[in-house]
Amino acid sequence: FFFSLKAMFASRLSSMAYRMPAVARMSAPRTFSSLQNMGSVDHGFNDDRIDKAADPEKRAFTYFMLGGARFMYASTARVLLIKFVSSMSASADVLAMASAEFELGAIDQGTTVTVKWRGKPIFIRHRTDEEIEEAKGVGMGELRHQETDQDRVQKDNWLVVLGICTHLGCVPISGAGDYNGWFCPCHGSHYDVSGRIRKGPAPLNLEVPPYKFTAEDKILIG
């Protein structure tokens, strides 16, 4: 038994002694000359190296070409953006409909004419002195949508309102109703001579569009 252990120990020592030089050789750093001698170095890197620019004088031309290309890209993007924004703007016919001018000289006192603005009816009423006094004499407590007559007109004898009922968008009848202003027969809304709701389901007064007098007998709506 002791002899077998001794033999095994001796064989292990001999195997370690045999392997140590190989390990030493593997762990030892290899020099560049030794690698060259082994023929395992690819010389392509050294052969293809460029230590300096091939033609430094072409740098200005290269920069010019790059800058010019970027300028062209930026100009093209700017033109496309302008065209896109312009396509979202209103066309000429729409802009022409944005405002409309009307003559008032042919409208008699106590009558109402209906004109068209942006595809919607506009009531222009030439009020009498009695209608003006009646509109001014209404107290705020009597109104659902409280507005004074002065807030709704620029000149006492002229009333300009949008001819659409504020209930469901019907067109009221002029010179009708309990208050001699406008009456919507669809659901029974009554407006006075100032276009204010006085009776019925409509929640608001008739809307006053933006307008101004360009002359004594001429207005511009819009």
Calculate the dihedral angle through the C-alpha atoms of 9, 15, 18, 21, rounding to the nearest 10 degrees.
Answer: -90
> What CA–CA distance (Å, rounded) separates 206 from 111?
17
Q: Can you read off the two tokens belonging to residue 222?
A: 């819009």
Instruction: Give the N- to C-terminal CA distance of the chain in Å, as an integer.
Output: 121
Scanning the structure block, which residue is given the tokens 């300009």?
A: 160
Find the catalytic residue in 126, 167, 187, 190: 187
Element (H, E) at 135: helix 129-136
| Amino acid, single-letter form, for residue 56 | P
Active site residue 145: no
DSSP H helices, 28-113, are 32-38, 44-48, 59-88, 92-97
Q: Give catalytic residue positions.
A: 187
